[in-house]
Amino acid sequence: EVANDPDATEVMRVWTGASEYVTLTGKLYPDPGVWGHLFCQLARHVARAYTLNGIGNREETLAAIRERFTEAWDE
């Protein structure tokens, strides 16, 4: 759907290696809370991928993501 949406825009790219690198590709939402929604959606997609690949289950994966997110947030 998004590929055919003329209003769709890429908003972020993330690279990992020895460190992490994130670029925001230009679109900032008037409500920064939208990013919370996007991060949550991303976590759900990651949990689904782990489940589909037989690595844990959705709840375990989401709990691990939340735990590490909270640790990083508090740094």
Instruction: Calculate the CA dihedral of residues 19, 70, 27, 30 and round it to 10 degrees.
Output: -160
pLDDT of residue 25: 77
DSSP assignment letter at 75:
-
Q: Which band of pLDDT confidence, cut at 50, 70 and 90, is reported for residue 9? A: confident
DSSP assignment letter at 53:
T
Q: What is the pTM of this model?
A: 0.80
* pLDDT tens by residue, 16-71: 999 999 998 777 888 999 999 999 999 999 999 999 999 989 999 999 999 999 99
Dist. CA 65–CA 44, nearest whole Å:
10
